[in-house]
Copies of this chain bind each other. A is one copy, B any other.
């Protein structure tokens, strides 16, 4: 999905919501556990109930890998379901935080973007910048695909290195600046945590029109209004993620409809923010 299509989707759906599929067997409704693939059944129900309210889904790879091959199978089924049931209706993000030397990142790129090899076909992948240019560039050789580079994350540990400072410039600012030599706003976004909303103004000076993927609204304490105040652009420029608040809104038989209600609350707030 290219930038124009993504923007069109956002304004058509009046939403810049991403739903994080951090699907955990310990938290999903217990009645699903008798299914052959409870994780996929849960995801399918959530996706069917929310696909018109969000613009993106973001499976968090850790929650699948912890179940080994079976988890990887649930992950593959989930992205295939999104691709075949709602083609071009939703942007898909592999939240995998990958990054390694060039010949290795090339293989990770195949995993995320080459269905003939891996069975998976995401629109975007999150990447960790620590290893620099050649760890990131192989992902950019797939036309129409995106990388989402970690810049300023939502967690407490963000303070450990991301604010490491060279004169006036912090490491995360250096990541934002330097990485613009690798790709453009057509194939590169950045992760900026909602818990860092007050810094979004400064970040927008460096990346005025790149899309930002913003986690941390909800369970982690970030505010949608604050994020929009400092991060919104005329083309929206934001994809705001919510995971636990939506997908675990209920543990009963009504979980999918309760997830829909929570997603709708966010979508309505977003429509207002977009002035639509």
Contacts and interface: CB of A to CB of B under 8 A. Distances in A.
Interface of A: 22, 24, 60, 62-63, 65-69, 71-73, 76, 97-108, 110-111, 114, 117-120, 128-136, 150, 153-162, 164-166, 171, 174-175, 178, 220
B158 A131 contact: yes
Contact of A134 (B76, B105, B155): B155
A49 to B, nearest CB: 24
A103 B155 CA distance: 10
A60 B98 CA distance: 12
Contact of A66 (B110, B135, B156): B110
Contact of A155 (B76, B132, B160): B132
Given A60-B104, A65-B111, A98-B97, A156 B130 contact: no
Given A60-B104, A107-B65, A166-B166, A161 B97 contact: no
A67 B101 CA distance: 19
A108 B174 contact: no
Nearest to A220: B101
A17 to B, nearest CB: 19
Nearest to A70: B119
A205 to B, nearest CB: 19
Given A97-B100, A166-B166, A130 B66 contact: no
Nearest to A112: B65
A67 B118 contact: yes
Contacts of A131: 97, 128, 150, 153, 155, 157-158
Given A128-B99, A132-B162, A171-B161, A76 B68 contact: yes
